Chain A
Amino acid sequence: MSVAFSEVGMKEFARLLSRYPDKEAVILPALYLAQRELGYVSDEAIVYIAQLLGTSPARIEGVATFYTMFNRKPVGKYHVQICRNISCSLLGAEHLIAHVSAKLGVKPGETTADGKFTLTKVECLGSCGTAPVMQVNDDYYENLTEASVDAILDKLP
């Protein structure tokens, strides 16, 4: 199955190319673009970006798999990422992860059967002063308690 950026995506890609002296610098932004437009970084997306940049799919894949934020497999509509690092752990992150895991009925790394939620344990999100913290898609939720996490997740359409 072949994939391609939308018209808007192509415009964005062209703008990105103008911001760097070397077109390979666009690999990370292009992977983000692919993820946003196509849902995740599929094998097809990697081949497509490689063609756009005139490089090999291996070059793109080597970069894509180095970074944690490029999803090589589809994730749920909401990607719930809970920080497990030291400041969050000191304030109960492990209990929070166990709570969300039980609530959603999935282990960290898994997606709910309806495709709505993927739960992931992540390393430091850089918001230690408002621990415990989770990121759902692009948004941070801070100073979490089990009750506030329930309220946040229940409200997501």
Chain B
Amino acid sequence: METVLTTHFSNERYRRLDTYRQLGGYEALKKALGMTPGQIIDEVKKANLRGRGGAGFPAGVKWGFLPKDLSRPRVLVINADEGEPGTFKDRLIMTRGPHLLIEGIVIASFALQAHACWIYIRGEFVREAKIVDEAVAEAYAAGLLGKNILGSGFDLDVTVHRGAGAYICGEETSLINSLEGKRGWPRLKPPFPASVGAFGLPTIVNNVETIADVPWIVTHGGERFAAIGCEKNGGTRLVGVSGAVNRPGVYELPANVNLKEVIYTYAGGIKDGRKLKAVIPGGSSTPVLRPHEIDVSYDIESMAKIGTMAGSGGVIVIPEGTCMVRALSVLMNFYAHESCGQCTPCREGTGWLKRIVGRIEEGKGRRGDVELILDLCDNMMGRTICPLSEAAVMPAQSFIWKFREEFDQHILEQKCPLGNTF
């Protein structure tokens, strides 16, 4: 199977510049510097590269949103604020192949005609930020960053910037505010970052994995990348499997891999010979699936067709015997904790969801609580600046729609029928 990113990840030395170059690293950059920015963007469009941070927006199209005039400096921001529960793939790229990211950054910046880039890494990733920082320093020393890169006349400065513990900063406008030294409050759009972004400048925000795919696309061409996946979903995806599986981890698989195969073939099936109860397919915000629903292609459109999302590629596997009310309670605690507090429906709604789901789990649920949750969800959906509110609603609704009897039983019996299962 063709791999784009992880080919050399088992090589401990791959994170160092000399090894990376011996294995063909920065050849794509040389090629790109001989192309025009337009040609590079065309290849990325042909590649059907979709944003890997969760929304799946076509990267080449996003790049095309920058205003045509070059009167204002442009900025590239890398979203390395990996925080969606169940997602742990960008961490792998940053620790195993930081130069893949940096090479992608230089190529993308050249294509976007941006001369400044910030890599926004979540605050908890102290070690990861250090590895990326060291790789950036190596690249500067080798003339791959800074002034006149490889004699091309192209200049680029890259700075590693650390977040400080806020899930919301994974949302691109919140990330921009945080980069500017503000609270991580999402911004109203328009204006979109492509016209008014970081420091008031035209800005493109891309996920780590998205950018790390770019060197391969330049080397091998967009068409070959597109051929790895399926229509509208080019290339591979780093799929992270966690929870009750025998071999949790990150697997690089074609964008249209079968979800059931991910769990049973690659991740080795359910731990301790248990049965499967549910799958959260694309990070904690994505609607939950029951076992009979997972025989499906993991591409963005196929997942949307069954009412869920491939999201950020984080597959969370829930085994039989798990109390789904308790599982939802864990998630509702998270969203209530992470709501930035800017919009009332989210600030209040996530708190209500946490308290109501929590009391049902504790055996103190009231008749009508389930309807109350669903009503609350209706009032949170689509009424806020950013999608965090929806990110809380999607698991709440889907857990109830698909496991309603467990909620009812908790309320009827005034206890958790399964006990503390985890």
Q: Which residues of A contact B (CB under 8 A)?
A: 19-22, 24-29, 31-32, 62-63, 66-70, 84-87, 89-94, 123-131, 135, 138-140
A-B contact number at CB 8 A: 145
In chain B, positions 293-319 with a C-beta closer than 8 Å to chain A are 314, 316-319
Residues A130 and B162 in contact, CB atoms below 8 Å apart: no
Report if B164 contacts A (CB, 8 A): yes
- Which A residues are in CB contact (< 8 Å) with B334? 85-86, 123-124
Task: Tell me which of B104-112, B186-194, B242-250, B378-386 binds A.
Answer: B242-250
Contact sample, A vs B, 9 pairs, CB 8 Å cutoff: A22-B181, A62-B183, A67-B164, A67-B184, A90-B243, A90-B316, A90-B317, A90-B322, A128-B87
How far is B162's CA from A31's CA once the two chains are assembled, in angstroms?
11
**Nearest chain A CB to B85's CB is how many angstroms away?**
4
Contact A29 B88 (CB under 8 A): no
Sorting the interface of chain B by its residue count into under 10, 10 to 19, 20 to 34 or 35 or more gives 35 or more
CB-based contact A27/B240 at 8 Å: no
**A22 to B199 Cα, complex, angstroms:** 7
Which residues of chain A come closer than 8 Å to B35, judged between CB atoms?
none
Interface string of B120-143 (1 = CB under 8 A from A): 001111110000000000000000
Q: Is B412 an interface position by the 8 A CB rule?
A: no
Q: CA of A93 to CA of B330 in the docked complex: distance in angstroms?
A: 11
**Across the interface, do A85 and B242 meet the contact criterion of CB distance under 8 Å?**
no
Indicate if B178 sits at the interface (CB-CB under 8 A).
yes
- Report A116 CB to chain B, min CB distance, Å: 20
B127 — which chain A residues lie within 8 A by C-beta? 138-140
Contact of A129 with B338 at beta-carbon distance under 8 Å, contacts A86-B331, A124-B83 already known: no
B contact residues around A24 at 8 Å (CB):
180-182
Q: Are B199 and A87 in contact (CB under 8 A)?
A: no
7 A-B pairs besides A90-B316, A94-B422 with CB distance below 8 A are A25-B179, A28-B163, A91-B422, A125-B124, A128-B87, A131-B248, A139-B126
* Residue among A24, A128, A135 with the highest chain B CB neighbour number at 10 A: A128
The residue of chain A having its C-beta at the shortest distance from the C-beta of B169 within the complex is A67
Identity of the chain B residue whose Cβ is nearest the Cβ of A70 in the assembled complex = B164
Check A21–B164 contact: CB distance below 8 A.
Answer: no
Whether A130 and B199, one on each chain, are in contact in the complex, defined by CB atoms closer than 8 angstroms, is no
A28 to B176, CA, bound (A): 13
B166 within 8 A of A: yes
Q: How far is the CA of A68 from the CA of B322 in the complex (A)?
A: 30
Q: Does B280 contact A (CB under 8 A)?
A: yes
Are B178 and A28 in contact (CB-based, < 8 A)? yes
Q: How far is the CA of A123 from the CA of B161 in the complex (A)?
A: 21
Q: By the criterion CB–CB under 8 Å, are A87 and B86 in contact?
A: yes
Do A90 and B422 contact each other (CB < 8 Å), given the known contacts A22-B199, A140-B127? yes
